[in-house]
Structure 1
Amino acid sequence: MLELLEDHERIPYICRLLYEAYRLPVAWTNSKGETEQTPHPSTHIRPPVEGVQGLPAEVLEMMQEAADSRKDSRTAAFPLICTTAYLENFIVLPLSGELEQAGAIVIGPSLYAPLTEENAGILLRDHNIPAGGKEAWLQYYRSLPVLDRMRLYHAAILLYTLATGQALSISELLQDSQPLQPAQHKDSAPDLNLSYRRENIWLHHDPSQERELFRHIRSGDKDGLLQTHAGFSEDQYGLLSKKSQLRSKKNLAISSITLATRAAIDGGLFWEIAYTLSDFHIQHIEELKDIPAVDRALLAALCDFADHVKDNRRFKLSRTSALCQNYIFNHLYEELTLSRLAGVAGLNASYLSQLFKKETGLAVSDYIQRERIEEAKRLMELPGITLSDIATRLHFNDQSYFTKVFKKYTGTTPKQFRHDRGII
Structure 2
Amino acid sequence: MSVNYNGIALVLNCGSSSIKYQVVDTTADAPLASGLVERVTDHNEGVRAVIETLSQPDSGVDLSRLTVVGHRVVQGGAEFTAPTIITDEVVDHIAKLAVLAPLHNPGHVSGIEAARHAFPDLPHVAVFDTAFHATLTEAAYSYAIDPHIAREHGIRRYGFHGTSHGYVSREVARVMGRDAKGLRVITAHLGNGASIDAIKDGIAIDTSMGLTPLEGLVMGTRSGDLDPAVIFHLHRAAGLSIDEIDELLNKKSGLLGLAGSNDMRDVRKAAAEGSHEAQVALEVYTRRIKGYVGRYMALLGGLDAIVFTAGVGENADAIRELSLAGLEELGIEVDPVRNEGRCTEPTLISTDASRVQVWVIPTNEEREIALQSIAAVS
TM-score using structure 1 length: 0.25
Q: Pick 1 or 2: higher relative contact order, CA cutoff 8 A, min separation 6.
A: 2
Q: Rg bigger for which structure? A: 1
Higher-strand-fraction structure: 2
